[in-house]
Amino acid sequence: MQQLHQINDYFNQLRFIPDSKLWGQDDYWATPLEFIGSNGGDCEDFTIAKYFSLRELGISDTQLRLVYVKAIKLNQFHMVLAYYPTPSSDPFILDNLIPEVMAASKRHDLKPIYSFNGDKLWLMKTNPQVAGEASRLSLWNDLRERQSSMMLKRPKIQL
């Protein structure tokens, strides 16, 4: 749990900035290096950086999911990272909006829509159902390709 808190706190120090301002496009999923190098990003960038950092620290892909949610109070879509200590446990949520790592059951402000990790994609209905491979997400594929080739994009502005 200490690693979760440290990673969450570290990345939450970076600035939130919409993709349209930073990257000049409506939706762009930055690699962790692009996110750190630009000193900011949007919710997907925070979540992706936390995911890959925890993977590097040895946390299994099966314990992590990037979760696309509806942030009810903000009335907008958002992304958070879920950590499952065991497959059937209530996951802990790492979020750039709320700095405290909390159990998902305490996050009544979030309505999960879908989640994914490096391999699978789930629809988050009453009982999450596998909807296929994570490779169905084109933004995820683009990010993975840039990350493996080290062909990183420069932001439109400097923070």
Specify which residues 123 forms β-bridges with.
114, 129
Q: What is the pLDDT of the chain when averaged over all its residues?
A: 92
Q: Which domain holds residue 85?
A: 2-149
How far is the C-alpha of 35 from the C-alpha of 129, rounded, in Å? Answer: 31
With residue 93 as reference, give the H or E element that holds it: strand 92-94
For 8-45, how does the pLDDT look when each residue is reduced to its tens digit (9 = 90+)?
A: 999 999 999 999 999 999 999 999 999 999 999 999 99
112, burial (CB in 10 Å: exposed 0-12, middle 13-18, buried 19+): buried
> For residue 137, is it within any domain?
yes
Number of folded domains that form the chain:
1
> For residue 96, is it within any domain?
yes
CATH number at residue 102: 3.10.620.30
> For residue 157, is it within any domain?
no
pTM of the model: 0.92
